Amino acid sequence: MSKMSDSFGRSFPYIRLSITDVCNFKCGYCLPNGYFKVENKPGFLNLDEISNLVAAFTELGVSKIRITGGEPTVRKDFFEVLKNIKSEHEISNLVITTNGYKLNEIAEELIATRINGINISIDSLDRNKFKEITGQDRLPQILEGINILQNKGFKNIKVNAVLLKNVNDSLEEFQNWERFINNNEIDFRYIELMQTGDNLEYFKKYHTSAFVFKKYIESQDWKEISRISDAGPSINYVHSKLKGKFGIIAPYSKDFCSTCNRLRITAKGELRLCLFGNTGTNLRPYLQNQNQKDELIELILKQLRFKKESHYLETGNTGMTPHLASIGG
């Protein structure tokens, strides 16, 4: 049971922890010109700092941690991060989000870390479109990686795509995904494109409501199912005759924030109460020593009182978030 709750009655059993801002893709909505190396001092949280952070959140009742980035798998000690969290802390649900660029090479090592799930971002099953959106011709390696994971019996693979107007919002694309999830028994979700500090032009050109996909799945007899407490923000659907689940993440929908159950930590140790908040709290000074845990817990609980009711994204507010690579999405 999470000991963290806010003034709006929401509780927080789920942390999204970014371990790097670096990414090797150039997704048009996120880092269209690629990652620019900036002065990186101090660097990203090290293994000890991550461990001290996770210890505090475990004590606060967090049961789910998602490791994200940038691209988390580019970090050299990526596997150590996962293994340490699994072996040193009682986190029942440790999952990652990745662009999967070398999933075929790392699938077996990933399984060995004993993580509980993986979200892979694939914006289209059409190789050319995939390349156009992400700037990388990596779809075959990702699909091969998924195959390896499945052949080894790894469960809980989810695929996410950002829904883009006139790019991947056609009937053909929807049907491709329907075949894919039925053949592979995988969950697939479309995320509605979000405006961030840097992507206004892209957003104006490509944003489309998740309603177009909702309309499709409801016409095909997919039925909405209910949500569990530490689940992500998607609305999920099952079909009586097909395998896999469809899902929709619609951040602009009414009430999206009322089910918020997660907090974010940036790769340099800032606590962010919202994906689009205006402030962050630097936890790093409290991560230097295991003995600082009580102070750290006190600070986190104090900050939670400032969590706002909504992201106010519909008013064009993007807070201090230039792109989602800076906060882990």
Residues at the site binding ligand SF4, with contacts judged by CB under 6 A: 23, 25, 27, 30-31, 69-71, 99, 121, 325
Write the DSSP symbol of residue 95.
Answer: E
Contact call for residue 118 and ligand SAM (CB under 6 A): no
Q: Which is nearer to ligand SAM, 29 or 57 (CB)?
A: 29
- In angstroms, give the least distance from the CB of 82 to ligand SF4: 18
Sequence-separated (6 or more) residues with CB below 8 Å from residue 85: 50, 51, 54, 65, 67, 91, 94
194, interface contact from ligand SF4, ligand SAM, none, CB < 5-8 Å by kind: ligand SAM
Strand partners, 190: 161, 248
31, interface contact from ligand SF4, ligand SAM, none, CB < 5-8 Å by kind: ligand SF4
Q: Which is nearer to ligand SF4, 101 or 216 (CB)?
A: 101
Say how far residue 189 (Cα) sits from the centre of its chain: 12
- Give dist(CA 246, CA 120) in Å, integer: 14
Cα Dmax for the chain: 56
Residue span binding ligand SAM (CB under 6 A) among the ranges 9-17, 67-75, 83-91, 270-278: 67-75
The backbone torsions φ and ψ at residue 325, rounded to the nearest 5 degrees and listed phi first, read -65, -20
277, interface contact from ligand SF4, ligand SAM, none, CB < 5-8 Å by kind: none
Residue with the shortest CB distance to ligand SAM: 329
- Give dist(CA 248, CA 225) in Å, integer: 12
Tokens representing residue 178 in the block? 């329907």
| Structural contact between residues 73 and 98, judged by C-beta atoms closer than 8 angstroms | yes
Among 4, 139, 193, 217, binds ligand SAM (CB under 6 A): 193
Contact call for residue 266 and ligand SAM (CB under 6 A): no
The DSSP code sequence of 214-267 is HHHHHHTT-EEEPPPTT--S-EEEE-SSS-SEEEEE-TTSTTGGGG--EEEE-T
Contact call for residue 325 and ligand SAM (CB under 6 A): yes
Contact call for residue 297 and ligand SAM (CB under 6 A): no
191, interface contact from ligand SAM, ligand SF4, none, CB < 5-8 Å by kind: ligand SAM
Q: Which is nearer to ligand SAM, 58 or 311 (CB)?
A: 311
Number of residues that bind ligand SAM (CB under 6 A): 21
68, interface contact from ligand SAM, ligand SF4, none, CB < 5-8 Å by kind: ligand SAM
Write the DSSP symbol of residue 278.
Answer: S
Cα separations in angstroms, 220 against 56, 132, 167: 45, 29, 22
Q: Which is nearer to ligand SF4, 28 or 244 (CB)?
A: 28
Sequence-separated (6 or more) residues with CB below 8 Å from residue 268: 42, 43, 44, 45, 284
Residues that bind ligand SAM (CB under 6 A): 23, 29-30, 68-69, 71, 97-99, 121, 160, 162, 191, 193-194, 196, 199, 324-325, 328-329
